[in-house]
Structure 1
Amino acid sequence: MMFLAIVLPFLSFIVRGKVLTGIICLILQITLIGWLPAAIWAVMSLNNERANERNQELIRAVRESQK
C-alpha cells in the first residue's frame, strides 16, 4: 500500500474509501510539481490511519484488562 501511495497517491485514497479526497489529490497530482506534495500527503495519511488503528487496539486491550 505504501508503494501505491507514492506512485499513485490518488488511488491510495480511493482504495481506502476516501473518494472525495482521492479526487482532490488527483487534481493536485495532475501537475508535475503537485505530484510530490500529493505523494507526501498520501503517505502521511496512510501512516496516520495505521497509527489510529494501533491506538484503538491498545485502548481496547487496556479496557479488556481492566474488567
Structure 2
Amino acid sequence: MLLAILLPFLSFIVRGKVLTGIICLILQITLIGWIPAAAWAVLSLNNERAEERNDKLIKAMRNNQR
C-alpha cells in the first residue's frame, strides 16, 4: 500500500501492468497529477485484492457443493 502511495507507477509495474504503469508515470510526472496517480494505484490495488478474495470464496463454495 505504501508503494502505491509513494511510487504509484512502480506499484503497477510490480503487479505486471507495465503499460498502465507507464501511463501512470506520465500522469505522476506533473505535480498536480501525483494525487490522482496515487489514488488510481491505491484503488487498483484494493480492487485486485477484492477480486482475489472473491475468487477464493467462489472456489470454496464450489468445493463445498461437491
Q: TM-score, normalised by structure 1?
A: 0.98
The count of residues paired between Structure 1 and Structure 2 equals 66
Tell me which residue corresponds to 1:23: 22
CA distance, structure 2, for counterparts of residue 9 and residue 30 of structure 1: 11
Pairwise CA distance, 1:24: 0.1
CA distance, structure 1, for counterparts of residue 46 and residue 57 of structure 2: 17
Map Cα deviations across residues 15-55 of structure 1 (whole Å, 9 max, x no partner).
Answer: 00000000000000000000000000000000000000000
Tell me which residue corresponds to 2:48: 49
Gaps of 5+ in 1: none
CA distance, structure 1, for counterparts of residue 4 and residue 46 of structure 2: 10
Q: Give the 4+ runs in structure 1 shifted more than 4 A.
A: none
Percentage of matched positions with identical amino acids:
80
Gaps of 5+ in 2: none
Q: TM-score, normalised by structure 2?
A: 1.00
Q: CA RMSD in A?
A: 0.1
